[in-house]
Amino acid sequence: DTEVTQTPKHLVMGMTNKKSLKCEQHMGHRAMYWYKQKAKKPPELMFVYSYEKLSINESVPSRFSPECPNSSLLNLHLHALQPEDSALYLCASSQDSDRDISYEQYFGPGTRLTVT
Amino acid sequence: GDSVTQMEGPVTLSEEAFLTINCTYTATGYPSLFWYVQYPGEGLQLLLKATKADDKGSNKGFEATYRKETTSFHLEKGSVQVSDSAVYFCALSVIGNEKLTFGTGTRLTIIP
């Protein structure tokens, strides 16, 4: 099973709302990622969790707050977003890289976020 | 730093045509190379991968060979179908670095 699930599929929120995106994987992967993808662009890395600890934060504004409750779940808490934050938010997971190989990432279907 | 240069699109081909999408890379370490495909309204799917020089990744009729001497990982398919219409991303990651570096993506449209 190489499935990463994300909920919700679509989300519309106002600039004063608080919402959360959820991601789940059951592949035993120990690295999980959040990406933001704007139209006609490649995904941009936001956060990386490795063994449930935040290992990379790509200078993301504090209105985005990640959380990794356990090795299978990853959340992205959203607060006071701006219209320019509207995008496709993708979650991914992978085995942690070892000495000899860098592993592929498996992506979820994404959450299409619209900020009004 | 690491970078991926990918053939600019969009690319439009007739059904059953031969496809090549060029991809070259620069890497600070020894990279693993990937092709991802994104169908409209969906997330990215891993299409194929290669983890060392001269490896050939293949899947669904697509192939790509890891060429260290030319730092390339070109995607090919002998006979494309309408269902292959999508955006294709070349990407790399380097051992010890958790980041995926993507190319800009190539939008492929196949017409019947």
Collect all residues of chain B within an 8 Å Cβ-Cβ radius of residue A30.
none
Q: What is the predicted pLDDT for the residue at A2?
A: 67
Residue A96 has pLDDT above 70, yes or no: yes
Residue A112 has pLDDT above 80, yes or no: yes
- Give the chain A residue nearest B99 (alpha carbons): A45
* DSSP per position, A29-40: -SEEEEEEE-TT
Chain B contact for A43 (CB, 8 A cutoff): yes
Closest residue to B43, CB basis, from A41, A102, A108? A108
Mean residue pLDDT across chain A? 93
The tens digit of pLDDT for each residue in A25-70 reads 999 999 999 999 999 999 999 999 999 999 889 999 999 999 999 9
Mean pLDDT confidence for B74-99: 93
Q: What gap in Å lies between CA A12 and CA A9, rounded to an integer?
A: 10
Instruction: Provide the pLDDT confidence category of residue B95 given band limits of 50, 70 and 90.
Output: confident
The tens digit of pLDDT for each residue in B26-67 reads 998 889 999 999 999 899 999 999 999 999 999 999 999 999
Closest residue to A50, CB basis, from B95, B98, B104? B98
Residue A73 has pLDDT above 90, yes or no: yes
Collect all residues of chain A within an 8 Å Cβ-Cβ radius of residue B98.
31, 33, 48, 50, 55-56, 94, 97
Q: What is the predicted pLDDT for the residue at A9?
A: 96
Instruction: Provide the pLDDT confidence category of residue A103 given band limits of 50, 70 and 90.
Output: confident
Residue A99 has pLDDT above 90, yes or no: no
* DSSP per position, chain A: ---EEEE-SEEEE-TT-EEEEEEEE-S--SEEEEEEE-TTS--EEEEEEETTEEEEE-S--TTEEEEEEETTEEEEEEES--GGG-EEEEEEEEPPP-SS-----EE---EEEEE-
Instruction: Provide the pLDDT confidence category of residue B97 given band limits of 50, 70 and 90.
Output: confident
